[in-house]
């Protein structure tokens, strides 16, 4: 036996914003000329995104975080907080969202927090110490002896290295139960800009968290899930300067050139063939860096368009949540009844470098139904009263409810009302 994903939990902030409303917000900013407006309209129209979630409630007509920096004034003008206040808001909000996803994963696995032996946290959108790994131990009431690891500033591909680390731990300690949590608050680095690369970044990134329970061979009982068979990593021959994530004076700064999809399209076949070998995946979880990235992967690998439905669905409903995104996709595949026992699942994610991270997994059907199958935006998880499928004490009491979601029509109405005066000045 090998290490196995036995559950995946997800969480998103309450504020849900429609893509059309965000597009109009950016297009209505003071000083935006017609060329920039065309670039904004084009980038948002091509994104294949309908909604995203954000911790910046003011973007959705909700109250801003108490004591936090101002991102949007009463006239609908985007402000430019410095990096310190942005990072302070990350410190305030990221731990709670990560803990929400972790509780969902624990409920789904039928586990109490005391079963966790190791914690791996992943994030590239903020820093603090003691960090997210420490906060999970405190917030979830994990044993103070829990081993902790943090993978920071790796970018969108980082979830797969997080799973790889969990698998290595479980392989060396077969009774280990590892909690992996990715939490990304990308919208904290929002800014108005005429730079085409910043416009593309503004059109795709959203906020979210995902948590995975990885159990070692001796900890797995009758749990279903995804066996973590093997991992791969590769650097492309080009692209070191085409996807870059740095710390600026007014938030973190993203370089995301138009070459990224083209580089991925040229090199994906070789990278995947070297990793997959003679295996033939039955399903694909591909990080949706953007619609053009998914299109290039589909073409480069000669896939049927339906093979990337789960990736496109997550992009459409949540946008690019950096490292957490691929775990939202894997959750869908984990709960997809059309995928039978033994189905092979390939995971691909892309990060600065350009780096291609890969994982090959096998679906296993458990002897019991899962405690919950809801997505991050659905309301309550079922009570975890079944006998746990992973070694450890069972959870007592009700399941964990996900955050509420602002109604999209109301969100868009409020945001449109706030940007209407500025929009009128550009017409």
Computed over every residue of the chain, the mean pLDDT equals 86
Averaged pLDDT for residues 283-310: 94
The yes-or-no verdict on residue 259 having pLDDT over 90 is no
Structure tokens belonging to residue 16: 């849900």
Catalytic residue positions, numbered: 156
Its sign, for the CA torsion 111, 226, 161, 245, is negative
The yes-or-no verdict on residue 200 having pLDDT over 60 is yes
Lowest mean pLDDT, pick from 219-228, 242-251, 311-320, 405-414: 405-414
Lowest mean pLDDT, pick from 58-72, 80-94, 324-338: 58-72
Averaged pLDDT for residues 15-23: 96
Residue 206's pLDDT is what? 97
The yes-or-no verdict on residue 91 having pLDDT over 50 is yes
Averaged pLDDT for residues 103-119: 96
Global pTM value = 0.87
Spatial strand order of the sheet with 4-11 comes to 147-152, 118-123, 177-185, 207-215, 4-11, 225-235, 355-364, 344-351, 283-286
Summarize pLDDT for 342-368 with one digit per residue, the tens: 999 999 999 998 899 999 999 999 765
Lowest mean pLDDT, pick from 82-91, 148-157, 239-248, 363-372: 363-372
Share of the chain above pLDDT 70, in %: 86
Residue 245's pLDDT is what? 86
What are the structural domains of the chain? 4-223+369-424 (3.40.47.10), 230-364 (3.40.47.10)
Given a contact cutoff of 8 angstroms between Cβ atoms, the answer to whether 355 and 233 are in contact is yes
Share of the chain above pLDDT 90, in %: 71
Summarize pLDDT for 165-174 with one digit per residue, the tens: 999 999 999 9
Structure tokens belonging to residue 424: 């009128």
Contacts of 411 (CB under 8 A, 6+ apart): 15, 16, 17, 18, 21, 60, 61
pLDDT band at 419 (very low <50, low <70, confident <90, very high): very low
The winner for highest mean pLDDT among 142-146, 216-220, 417-421 is 142-146
Averaged pLDDT for residues 376-388: 36
Averaged pLDDT for residues 323-346: 97
The yes-or-no verdict on residue 190 having pLDDT over 90 is yes
Higher-confidence position of 406 and 315: 315
Gap between the Cα atoms of 227 and 274, Å rounded: 20
Residue 161's pLDDT is what? 98
pLDDT band at 65 (very low <50, low <70, confident <90, very high): confident
Residue 367's pLDDT is what? 66
The yes-or-no verdict on residue 379 having pLDDT over 70 is no
Nearest Cα to Cα of residue 1 among 339, 232, 227, 281: 227
Lowest mean pLDDT, pick from 160-164, 169-173, 371-375: 371-375
Averaged pLDDT for residues 234-260: 87
Averaged pLDDT for residues 305-332: 97
Higher-confidence position of 245 and 106: 106
The winner for highest mean pLDDT among 150-154, 275-279, 371-375, 398-402 is 150-154
Averaged pLDDT for residues 326-344: 97
Averaged pLDDT for residues 208-219: 96
The yes-or-no verdict on residue 46 having pLDDT over 60 is yes
User: Contacts for 306-315 with beta carbons within 8 Å, 24 or more apart?
Assistant: 307/283, 308/284, 310/283, 310/284, 310/285, 310/336, 311/284, 311/285, 311/286, 311/287, 312/48, 312/288, 314/288, 315/48, 315/49, 315/288, 315/290, 315/291
pLDDT band at 377 (very low <50, low <70, confident <90, very high): low
Residue 315's pLDDT is what? 98
Structure tokens belonging to residue 177: 């139960």
Averaged pLDDT for residues 223-238: 93
Gap between the Cα atoms of 325 and 316, Å rounded: 12
Lowest mean pLDDT, pick from 20-34, 169-183, 249-263, 325-339: 249-263
Residue 375's pLDDT is what? 57
Beta bridge partners of 351: 355
């Amino acid at each position: 036996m090998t290490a196995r994903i036995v559950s995946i939990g997800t969480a998103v902030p309450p504020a849900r914003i429609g893509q059309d409303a965000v597009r109009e917000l950016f297009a209505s900013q003071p000083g935006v000329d017609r060329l920039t407006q065309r670039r904004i309209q084009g980038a948002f129209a091509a994104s294949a995104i309908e909604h995203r979630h954000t911790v910046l409630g003011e973007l959705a007509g909700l109250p801003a975080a108490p004591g936090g920096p101002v991102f949007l004034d009463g006239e609908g003008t985007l402000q430019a907080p410095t990096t310190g206040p942005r990072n302070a808001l990350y410190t305030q909000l990221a731990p709670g969202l990560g803990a929400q996803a972790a509780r969902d994963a624990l409920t789904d696995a039928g586990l109490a927090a005391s079963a966790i032996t190791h914690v791996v946290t992943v994030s590239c959108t903020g820093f603090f110490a003691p960090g997210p790994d420490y906060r999970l131990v405190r917030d979830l009431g994990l044993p103070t002896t829990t081993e902790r690891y943090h993978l920071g500033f790796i970018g969108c591909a980082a979830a797969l290295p997080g799973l790889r680390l969990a698998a290595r731990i479980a392989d060396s300690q077969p009774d280990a139960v590892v909690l992996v949590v990715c939490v990304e608050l990308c919208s904290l680095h929002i800014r108005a800009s005429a730079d085409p690369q910043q416009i593309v970044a503004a059109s795709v990134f959203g906020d979210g968290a995902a948590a995975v329970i990885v159990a070692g061979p001796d900890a797995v009982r009758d749990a279903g899930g995804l066996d973590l068979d093997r991992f791969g990593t590769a650097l492309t021959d080009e692209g070191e300067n085409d996807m870059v994530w740095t710390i600026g004076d007014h938030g973190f700064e993203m370089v995301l050139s138009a070459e990224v999809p083209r580089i991925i399209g040229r090199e994906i076949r070789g990278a995947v063939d070297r990793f997959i070998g003679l295996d033939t995946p039955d399903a694909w979880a591909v990080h949706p860096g953007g619609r053009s990235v998914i299109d290039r992967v589909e073409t480069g690998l000669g896939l049927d368009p339906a093979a990337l439905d789960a990736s496109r669905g997550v992009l459409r409903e949540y946008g690019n949540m950096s490292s957490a995104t691929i775990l939202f996709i894997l959750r869908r595949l984990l709960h997809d009844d059309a995928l039978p026992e033994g189905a092979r699942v390939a995971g691909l994610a892309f990060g600065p470098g350009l780096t291609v991270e890969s994982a090959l997994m096998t679906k296993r059907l458990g002897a019991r139904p899962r405690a919950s199958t809801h997505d991050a935006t659905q309301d309550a998880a079922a009570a975890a009263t079944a006998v746990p499928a992973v070694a450890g004490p069972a959870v007592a009491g009700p399941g964990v409810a996900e955050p509420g979601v602002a109604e999209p029509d109301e969100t868009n109405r409020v945001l449109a009302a706030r940007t209407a005066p500025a929009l009128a000045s550009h017409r």
